[in-house]
Structure 1
Amino acid sequence: MKSTYTKILTVTILLTATSMVLAGGNHAENNATNEQTTSVVRPYRLSDGSVIIPKQTQRQLNIRTTRSVYGDYPKTVELAGKIIPDPNYGGKVQSMIAGRITPPPNGFPTPGESVHKGQLLAYITPDVGPKGMRSLAESRLKRLQALSDTVPRKTLEEAQAAVANEELRASVDGIISTTGIVSGQVVDARQTIFEITNADRFMVEAIAYDTFLLDNIQSANITEGDRQIPLKLLGTARNLREQALPITFVASEGGALPLAIGQAVRIFVQTKQTQQGYQVPASALVKDSANQSIIWVKESPIKYLARTVTILPLDGTSVVVNGLENGDIVVSQSASLVNQIR
């Protein structure tokens, strides 16, 4: 009886020990699983240069992707240029005589103020010589007006012009771009008093050093922020200016451009020749530690690989690259944030 009791007790102890061991093993497995899950909560870079980014982090970084497609695209040349006024829709207001400038009843127009053609902008009182000469000219005019029936009309008009104020009026519709006068200021003949521009009629002047472009332009555009502004070719000058040929464009869509006269711009000219490659957004390009251009390609839902590429310009917002494969999913937004993961 005693030996039977001893055997039962021994078996009970063994079963209890086995249960504890199994429970400990399951707990260890759970810890390992939790540690593995925790390890992908934050993004990190692998030894081969690829990065692991969990889905939650991808949403936080606002990562967007696009699929690359191989094709033929126009060969593009990037030119430096600037915004210039359209001479047909802008103008200058200059003084024909020397004198003292005075404002009209509504005051001088200010920069940015809209004016219409023929609007009175200022008066100029002519300079008739030393002090007292104007009063003599006015007295002479009064005498001639009293004898208007016997005095030649030409003489009377000359006397009136000698004391009359010159009216400065707007030559075109537009806005005042520059003015540098104050009431009472003495101005010279042919001095520019106001400059008027039309915000809807700007032109773009590019400088080309390659005569190959003159007869090989298919289209062109400039970029302002995320907006593309298509341009229409007006013509190319055949006279060199600082060893370059000026090319003139105008916005093909019309309307006011979000640009200022004299502002420097980059002009992307698409030629009639083509180039092959993958079109991707310019925002997809980043630099690696060796200062090479790379693009991040999505290999799996959370894994991204860096591809070294060569770049060709296209239209300012996108580029043509070589070094990808057809169908690659590239990071088009937040690529710089992916590139910073270590």
Structure 2
Amino acid sequence: MIRPRLTMTLAALAMVASASLAIAHGDEDHGAAATPVGLSVAPRMEAATETLELVAAAKADDLTIWIDGFADNVPVTGATVSVTVDGKTGPAKAANGFYTYSDGGLENPGPHELSFLVSNDGAFESLSGTLTVPKAAADTTAAMPIWRWLLIAALVALVLAGAWHWRARRLGAAGLAVLIGALLFFGIPVGPAPVAAHGDEDHGASPGAPTGSGEAAVKTADGKLFGPKSVQRIIGVRTVLAAAGEAQPNTSLTGKIVADPKRGGLIQSATGGRVTAPASRLPIIGQAVRAGQVLAFVEPPLQAIDRATLARESSDLDQQIALAANSSARLRRLEGVVPRRQIEEAGITLAGLQRRRAALAQARSAREVLVSPIDGVIGLSNVRVGQVVSAETTLFEIVDRSRLYVEANLFDRRALAAGAKAVGKTADGTTFDLVFEGAGLIDRGRAAPALFRVVGVPANLRIGEPITIEAPLGGTVAGVIVPRAALLSSANGTPSVFVKTHAELFEQRSVKSSPVDASRVALLSNVKPGEHVVTAGAELLGQVR
């Protein structure tokens, strides 16, 4: 019983020992391009100059070439490209934003020296690199010589004949062991067929590694993001070279144009009544006026009872004036007979009655005169001839166009120095300079009122027009200045940015930031000057898993 078991064990060991080994080439060096960890991609190379970045990928004898701006990653699509592969030169064809070139030599495994001459807008750039095509897996099933097959057949026939003649199991088992040993001696595999892996094929030894054709964005095993150029074109990835510097943090405020309180005026009626026009007619909006110029009259209204009272008083005064006039005339004729004092008293009484009558007549026809307090322009007119207005109604507003202010709400508690310069912007994009005059101490909806003086007033500014203000706050901030669009918000609320470390490799980094203005931020950590920070397409890159 021991010998049969031993024989079977030897046979099994022989079969296992004769099995072929699997060979993989996925981790070979693919030239100058950064090889993503844990991914199998088409052979590729990358090269860059101060202005251009180039990536070339090979598939069989076809070479696909992507050319972008080095700093901003903007595709270069209208260039003339000359390609040299292992000393053979030819023109590349432009197709859908990239370039193609064919060379049969690219199918040969091993390194290939590539160089590119790019002509764009009259400028020439030369780029070069090495593209390595991986070798094919070794073929372990090569055909054997015919004499080996004949020898094997003879051995098999000999073993079967002996087993039939003696009908002995031990001899059959021994013959089987001899046959397997002979097969191993002559190098003939008796186990399963060999498994080879290469390039984009399945590598059975690493089932947990991500796989892909190299044309899909995917996270790599080391946590980076592989984004091939074809995907970058689709999602519109753009970058900017991070620049170190100091910037003044700004805040964005909203406000409105107001007139200079020292050089503006409101014209209101104190009594109310019916509006009448002066000889020069009522002024219109936009008309220039002078200080002291009559703008309008307001006739006070009289009720029926008031008119009756005035009429009765007028009649009484007229009667008294007539009697006083007769008495004064009679006494003057008797001058020298009557005392001088009586004559003077009669004259004084008559003069007093006449003044009362004149005042009463003026009261019936009195008009309120509205005059301009300053030189300026009529900015508001709420009056028509014959209109009846009430007391304290604003009829005209006069402004000095050369002196305007912006009143804004200041929510930020950081200091805004007096005299600080700011920039105002209207809804249609008109910009103008502002100077901070001061801020109030009274809270107004969790904000303090702030006043800015307009410098060099544009001709089209209007009183009450909404304005956006960019004003400096606090001290300067030192860091890497990038556009605000580069910032992403992580799931935990921490800001982050994508940094392009190679032509097709990205890293997402958590950063600390400080606002500079409405369109820029300063990165205070984890990004160095000169690195490529993604400004467009970052949100889509963040969704790659």
The two structures have a TM-score, normalised by structure 1, of 0.60
For 1:197 and 1:79, locate their aligned partners in 2 and report how far apart those are by CA, in whole Å. 27
Once the two structures are TM-superposed, the CA of residue 93 in structure 1 deviates from its matched residue by 1.9
For 1:220 and 1:117, locate their aligned partners in 2 and report how far apart those are by CA, in whole Å. 32
1:283 to 476, 485, 497: 485
| 1:163 aligned residue | 365
Give the residue type in structure 2 aligned to 1:115. Answer: Q
| 2:395 aligned residue | 193
Matched, 1:328 2:531: yes
The correspondence of residues 184-333 of structure 1 with structure 2, limited to 5 A, is 184-197=386-399, 201-207=404-410, 210=413, 213=415, 219-222=421-424, 229-236=432-439, 240-242=441-443, 246-255=449-458, 261=464, 263=466, 265=468, 267-271=470-474, 273-323=475-525, 324-332=527-535
Q: 1:231 and 1:108, CA in 2 relative to 1: closer, same or farther beyond 3 A?
A: closer
| 1:82 aligned residue | 255
Matched, 1:72 2:246: yes
SS in 2 for 1:128: coil
Once the two structures are TM-superposed, the CA of residue 278 in structure 1 deviates from its matched residue by 1.5
Give the residue type in structure 2 aligned to 1:255. Answer: P
Give the residue type in structure 1 aligned to 2:255. Answer: K
Q: 1:221 and 1:131, CA in 2 relative to 1: closer, same or farther beyond 3 A?
A: same
Q: 1:309 and 1:95, CA in 2 relative to 1: closer, same or farther beyond 3 A?
A: same
Once the two structures are TM-superposed, the CA of residue 106 in structure 1 deviates from its matched residue by 7.1
Matched, 1:52 2:230: no
List runs of 5+ in structure 2 lacking aligned partners: 1-58, 65-199, 201-211, 319-350
For 1:222 and 1:293, locate their aligned partners in 2 and report how far apart those are by CA, in whole Å. 29
Once the two structures are TM-superposed, the CA of residue 231 in structure 1 deviates from its matched residue by 2.8
1:116 to 275, 283, 288: 288
| 1:146 aligned residue | none
For 1:117 and 1:65, locate their aligned partners in 2 and report how far apart those are by CA, in whole Å. 57
1:95 to 258, 262, 269: 269
List runs of 5+ in structure 1 lacking aligned partners: 1-28, 144-149
Q: 1:235 and 1:242, CA in 2 relative to 1: closer, same or farther beyond 3 A?
A: closer
User: Quick check: which one's strand share is greater?
Assistant: 1
SS in 2 for 1:283: helix
SS in 1 for 2:522: strand
SS in 2 for 1:241: coil
Give the residue type in structure 2 aligned to 1:128. Answer: L
Q: 1:261 and 1:293, CA in 2 relative to 1: closer, same or farther beyond 3 A?
A: farther
Deviations 1:2-60 (A, max 9, x none): xxxxxxxxxxxxxxxxxxxxxxxxxxx649989x9x9777x7454546362637964x7
Deviations 1:104-157 (A, max 9, x none): 897784xxx4232258765433223437839x78xx8xx9xxxxxx99899768
For 2:407 and 2:387, locate their aligned partners in 1 and report how far apart those are by CA, in whole Å. 35
Give the residue type in structure 2 aligned to 1:250. Answer: R
Give the residue type in structure 2 aligned to 1:279. Answer: I
How many residues align? The count is: 291
Identity %: 23
CA contact (8 A) 2:379 2:398 kept: yes
SS in 1 for 2:485: helix
For 1:116 and 1:70, locate their aligned partners in 2 and report how far apart those are by CA, in whole Å. 52
Q: 1:195 and 1:97, CA in 2 relative to 1: closer, same or farther beyond 3 A?
A: same
Give the residue type in structure 2 aligned to 1:241. Answer: I
Give the residue type in structure 1 aligned to 2:298. Answer: I
Give the residue type in structure 1 aligned to 2:244. Answer: Y
For 2:432 and 2:294, locate their aligned partners in 1 and report how far apart those are by CA, in whole Å. 36
Q: Which has the higher contact order (CA 8 A, sep 6+)?
A: 1
For 1:314 and 1:285, locate their aligned partners in 2 and report how far apart those are by CA, in whole Å. 13
For 2:274 and 2:515, locate their aligned partners in 1 and report how far apart those are by CA, in whole Å. 55
CA contact (8 A) 2:243 2:529 kept: yes
For 1:322 and 1:293, locate their aligned partners in 2 and report how far apart those are by CA, in whole Å. 11
CA contact (8 A) 2:242 2:532 kept: yes
CA contact (8 A) 1:80 1:207 kept: yes
Once the two structures are TM-superposed, the CA of residue 66 in structure 1 deviates from its matched residue by 2.6
Q: 1:173 and 1:131, CA in 2 relative to 1: closer, same or farther beyond 3 A?
A: farther
| 1:15 aligned residue | none
The correspondence of residues 101-180 of structure 1 with structure 2, limited to 5 A, is 101=275, 109=284, 113-118=285-290, 123-130=297-304, 133=307, 159=361, 162-163=364-365, 165-166=367-368, 168=370, 172-174=375-377, 176-177=379-380, 179=382
Once the two structures are TM-superposed, the CA of residue 99 in structure 1 deviates from its matched residue by 0.2
Deviations 1:287-341 (A, max 9, x none): 3444433333333445544333222122333222223211122244565566677
SS in 2 for 1:297: strand
Once the two structures are TM-superposed, the CA of residue 178 in structure 1 deviates from its matched residue by 7.2
Deviations 1:159-198 (A, max 9, x none): 457525545455553453574x666543222222233456
Aligned CA RMSD, in angstroms, stands at 5.0
Deviations 1:75-101 (A, max 9, x none): x36475633432134332211331023
CA contact (8 A) 1:314 1:320 kept: yes
For 2:385 and 2:214, locate their aligned partners in 1 and report how far apart those are by CA, in whole Å. 73
For 1:62 and 1:117, locate their aligned partners in 2 and report how far apart those are by CA, in whole Å. 58
For 2:499 and 2:264, locate their aligned partners in 1 and report how far apart those are by CA, in whole Å. 50
Give the residue type in structure 1 aligned to 2:530. Answer: G
Once the two structures are TM-superposed, the CA of residue 70 in structure 1 deviates from its matched residue by 1.9
CA contact (8 A) 1:223 1:316 kept: no
